Amino acid sequence: MEPNPISLLLFALPFVFYPASVVHAKPFMKNATEQICTPSHLSTRIGGLFGKSFEVVLAGSELTYTAYDPGRVVSERSTTRPSAAQWCEFRRLLDQIDLWNWQAEYVNGAVMDGTQWALELSYLDHSIKAWGSNNYPDTDGTPGTQIEPTETFSRYLRAISALVGNKEFR
């Protein structure tokens, strides 16, 4: 029986895109698609002191979503396991919005309260730590000029929401 050409391609992809030392860092991944699309670390949150706040954290293969009422009172908590296809769609969007070129911090010093956000995300080939207070990355990664989230940041928020079953994340 001849090998399936798609299987061979998926097997070869990590060797094309990643140095051998990195590929062997996670030898027990189920397949190449999972290895490329699934982050090794994800922790993100958004909210403010006087409103609702939201948090999504990856632990193993499960995402834990937590919604907080004002005062950090948990109003909802759930876990989900995104499929390989969902992780690949998420990664595609991150690449489209050029998340890897976001700055480490986005701060609007003219506003003392409002919305704060944070993101820590790691893949085999990229990682980022970024946070902001009443300011958000624009299409080129520079700080936006408005107090409201930019379209780029809104796309990121929608992508996180999609990973956790379209739960509120804003």
Residues 48 and 92 both lie in one domain: yes
Over residues 100-129, the pLDDT tens digits come to: 999 999 999 998 889 999 999 999 999 999
Low-confidence winner among 8-22, 25-39, 72-86, 134-148 (lowest mean pLDDT)? 8-22
The answer to whether residue 168 sits within a structural domain is no
Residues 113 and 131 both lie in one domain: yes
Residues 7 and 42 both lie in one domain: no
Over residues 10-51, the pLDDT tens digits come to: 333 333 333 333 333 333 445 666 778 999 999 999 999 889
- Give me the residue label for tokens 């520079």: 142
The answer to whether residue 169 sits within a structural domain is no
Range of the domain at 14: 1-36
Residues 75 and 28 both lie in one domain: no
60: left (phi over 0), alpha (psi -120 to 50) or beta: left
Residues 9 and 85 both lie in one domain: no
CATH, residue 157: 3.30.1560.10
Signed CA dihedral, 140, 141, 142, 147: sign only:
positive
What is the number of domains present in the chain?
Answer: 2
